[in-house]
Amino acid sequence: MDLDPRDNAMEGGAQQSSLWEPPEQDGGPGERDGGEGPPEVRRSQPLFIHGSSRQPPQEEPRASSLPSIPNPFPELCSPSNSPILSSPALGQGPPREGTPHVVKVFGEDGVCRSLEASAGTTARQLCETLVRRTRALHDHSWALVELHQHLALERCLEDHESVVEVQSSWAPGADSRFVFRKNFAKYELFKSNAQLLFPEVMVSSCLEANKSMAHSELIQNFLNSGSCPEVQGFLHLREAGRKVWKRFHFSLRRSGLYYSTKGTSKDPRHLQYFADLTESNIYYVTQGKKLYGTPTEFGFCIKPHKVRSGVKGLKLLCSEDEQSRSCWMAAFRLFKYGMQLYRNYQQAQARLSQLPWIGPTPLRSVSDNALVAMDFSGCTGRVIENPSEVLTVALEEAQAWRKKTTHRYSLPAACHSSPLSAAIHRTQPWFHGRISREDTQQLMGRQGLVDGVFLVRESQRNPKGFVLSLCHLQRIKHYLILPSEEEGRLYFTMDDGQTRFADLIQLVEFHQINRGILPCKLRHYCTCVAL
């Protein structure tokens, strides 16, 4: 028997219709059939079994009188008074345009600031607003981080993501928040060394002819859906419902993430489907050993959109080291966002070149990629483009610096020694005072383990000394800075007096241009702004 078209429309109304009807206009099954007994049962329709021949009249008001309980029949009520039913996480569409929303953003010091945002406000727009209000140095490394404290999960929002939409996906009452901080690793995948971010052992191309390719070609292949490299490697996987971790060989492909049930075999019979990245977000796990018993501290998590709160449904993974985790996280972002991620990077670069200087002028210190090699030996300065000439000039400048410093300390003490010069480093954004080594590593890890990220702090072991903490090859190294006084003259050194500096600012500025005894130059300073 053929179905009535009206019945088909009713069955798919919850998914197909975007209009909401009040309960009185929808009616129960008995009212549709004239109120004469149960509705006629047709083939191809489910059979509804009730305790009596008619629906109890009080069932419909009960569903709408308890707003704290999710209504199983959202098509029977209006979402205007229900924050649960109007949430985009339940498939009701994005927040409506024009409606103001309050977004709370925390600084790294725990201070909160409330901002009003529209439904279309992106993470980049919100960051630019906070940069203006805090008078911070404007660059594209500022980020908005989504933090789930009870789950120890965090991720950096992409520039194009809607802040209001992400906030509305949180479970009511959960201790989730946005944090405003630096993230120097956000776009490092577009300018990093391919061997560092994508080790050859972890990347296998679908085309045999492209086994060895440049970094730009590798990234383009990631962005091109036609020829996509496959990211592979061993990961520790936590079994569902258990605290046992097992090691499997994973493969990331366009169709999703898989693991092999038999060693490194890629035979379809041995590949087990694990997760779909399009319906999930990828998070760093910050306290893996404490909360989840991870084998290492390099854990990450795939959290499906449908999982709003709780541990159930989380897909927990763990890498062997930070390089492996960084590779997986970068690949997840490229596979999920593709060209949109690259457009975000290009737009950030364009804004940085167009926007005027925002914020106060830094005191004698600019730690960015704007430093170039210059030659001032002639009447006018010129940019040195030849790498070999740059190295020669750097060595000559280092020797001249040593002679100049030696001459400076041969002058009377009154010419250069003052309380201001001994404490001027406290005004610098890269100086963090008496912070511990553990807190230093956590701070630098949160802001991105990129070559050249650094900060200066007071030494806990040596009361008069300082420590330069520097990231190189995704590891943080600490260099002791000792003060020394000769004939009433104070200087600072990291190499037992071979290179001397009048203050810490001079030391930092020198190593922003010259590597010296360090493995790399100082490029990005860790800073925390007060909201």
Q: What is the DSSP string of 417-437?
A: --HHHHHGGGGSTTB--S--H
460-473 pLDDT tens trace: 888 889 999 999 99
- Answer whether 116's CB lies under 8 Å from 100's CB: yes
Q: Which of 38, 30, 37, 29 is nearest to 10 (CA)?
A: 29
Which pLDDT score, from 0 to 100, does residue 20 have?
Answer: 41
- Beta carbons within 8 Å of 46's beta carbon, 6+ residues apart: none
Kindly tell me the sign of the dihedral angle through the C-alpha atoms of 333, 336, 341, 342: positive
Which pLDDT score, from 0 to 100, does residue 131 have?
Answer: 92
Nearest-angstrom CA–CA distance, 178 and 25 = 42
* pLDDT over 70 at 401, yes or no: no
Kindly tell me the sign of the dihedral angle through the C-alpha atoms of 463, 468, 472, 476: positive
Nearest-angstrom CA–CA distance, 457 and 435 = 6
Task: Name which residue leads in pLDDT, 330 or 81.
Answer: 330
Which pLDDT score, from 0 to 100, does residue 202 have?
Answer: 85
Can you say whether residue 110 is alpha, beta or left, with left for phi > 0 and alpha for psi between -120 and 50 degrees? left
Angle ∠(358,520,422) on CA atoms, nearest 5? 65
Which pLDDT score, from 0 to 100, does residue 528 have?
Answer: 86
| Residues present in the chain in total | 531
Which pLDDT score, from 0 to 100, does residue 189 have?
Answer: 84
Coil, helix or strand for 453? strand
* Rounded alpha-carbon distances, angstroms, from residue 29 to 1, 39, 40, 48: 20, 6, 10, 10
- Answer whether 88's CB lies under 8 Å from 95's CB: yes
What band does 84 get if pLDDT is binned at 50, 70 and 90? very low
Q: In which element (H, E) is residue 301 found?
A: strand 299-304
Q: Which of 313, 290, 309 is nearest to 301 (CA)?
A: 313
Dig out the tokens for 207 from the structure. 């085309």
* pLDDT over 90 at 49, yes or no: no
Nearest-angstrom CA–CA distance, 178 and 171 = 14
Which pLDDT score, from 0 to 100, does residue 412 have?
Answer: 40
The rounded mean pLDDT for the chain is: 75
Nearest-angstrom CA–CA distance, 280 and 307 = 9
Amino acid symbol at 270: H
Which pLDDT score, from 0 to 100, does residue 277 have?
Answer: 86
Kindly tell me the sign of the dihedral angle through the C-alpha atoms of 496, 497, 502, 505: negative
Which pLDDT score, from 0 to 100, does residue 398 have?
Answer: 56
CA 273 remoteness from chain centre:
26
Nearest-angstrom CA–CA distance, 304 and 297 = 22
Q: Tell me, what DSSP letter sits at residue 340?
A: H
What band does 116 get if pLDDT is binned at 50, 70 and 90? very high
Fold type of domain 188-348: PH-domain like (2.30.29)
Task: Name which residue leads in pLDDT, 50 or 519.
Answer: 519
Which pLDDT score, from 0 to 100, does residue 99 have?
Answer: 75
Strands 245-253 and 230-238: antiparallel
* pLDDT over 70 at 14, yes or no: no
Nearest-angstrom CA–CA distance, 271 and 521 = 44
Neighbours of 386 (CB within 10 A): 10
Instruction: Write down the pTM of the prediction.
Output: 0.69
Neighbours of 513 (CB within 10 A): 17
Coil, helix or strand for 103? strand
Which pLDDT score, from 0 to 100, does residue 37 have?
Answer: 52
Q: Of 312-316, 337-341, 380-384, which gets the smallest average pLDDT?
A: 380-384
Nearest-angstrom CA–CA distance, 248 and 233 = 8
Nearest-angstrom CA–CA distance, 457 and 432 = 5
Would you list the domain boundaries of the chain?
A: 19-32+52-86, 101-182, 188-348, 374-525
511-527 pLDDT tens trace: 999 999 999 999 999 98
Coil, helix or strand for 107? coil
334-351 pLDDT tens trace: 888 888 999 999 998 888
First to last CA, the chain: 68
* pLDDT over 60 at 368, yes or no: no
CATH of 374-525, one of 3.30.420.40, 3.30.505.10, 3.40.50.720, 3.40.50.450: 3.30.505.10
CATH top-level class of 101-182: alpha beta
- Answer whether 398's CB lies under 8 Å from 514's CB: yes
Domains 188-348 and 374-525 belong to one CATH topology: no
122-178 pLDDT tens trace: 999 999 999 999 888 878 899 999 999 999 999 999 999 999 999 999 988 888 999
Which pLDDT score, from 0 to 100, does residue 422 have?
Answer: 58
Which pLDDT score, from 0 to 100, does residue 172 have?
Answer: 87
* pLDDT over 60 at 52, yes or no: no
* pLDDT over 70 at 321, yes or no: yes
Phi, psi (rounded to 5 degrees) for 124: -65, -40
Q: Which of 518, 152, 527 is nearest to 360 (CA)?
A: 527
- Beta carbons within 8 Å of 457's beta carbon, 6+ residues apart: 431, 432, 433, 434, 435, 440, 466, 467, 469
Which pLDDT score, from 0 to 100, does residue 177 have?
Answer: 95
- Answer whether 333's CB lies under 8 Å from 345's CB: no
Which pLDDT score, from 0 to 100, does residue 230 have?
Answer: 83
Nearest-angstrom CA–CA distance, 290 and 129 = 36
Neighbours of 235 (CB within 10 A): 24
Which pLDDT score, from 0 to 100, does residue 98 have?
Answer: 61
Task: Name which residue leads in pLDDT, 230 or 205.
Answer: 230
Of the spans 30-39, 291-300, 342-351, 374-383, which averages the highest pLDDT?
Answer: 291-300
Phi, psi (rounded to 5 degrees) for 397: -65, -35
* Rounded alpha-carbon distances, angstroms, from residue 508 to 128, 373, 387, 454, 511: 28, 17, 23, 10, 5
* pLDDT over 80 at 247, yes or no: yes
* pLDDT over 50 at 510, yes or no: yes
Give me the mean pLDDT over the 183-193 stretch.
83
Which pLDDT score, from 0 to 100, does residue 318 have?
Answer: 96
Nearest-angstrom CA–CA distance, 71 and 122 = 31
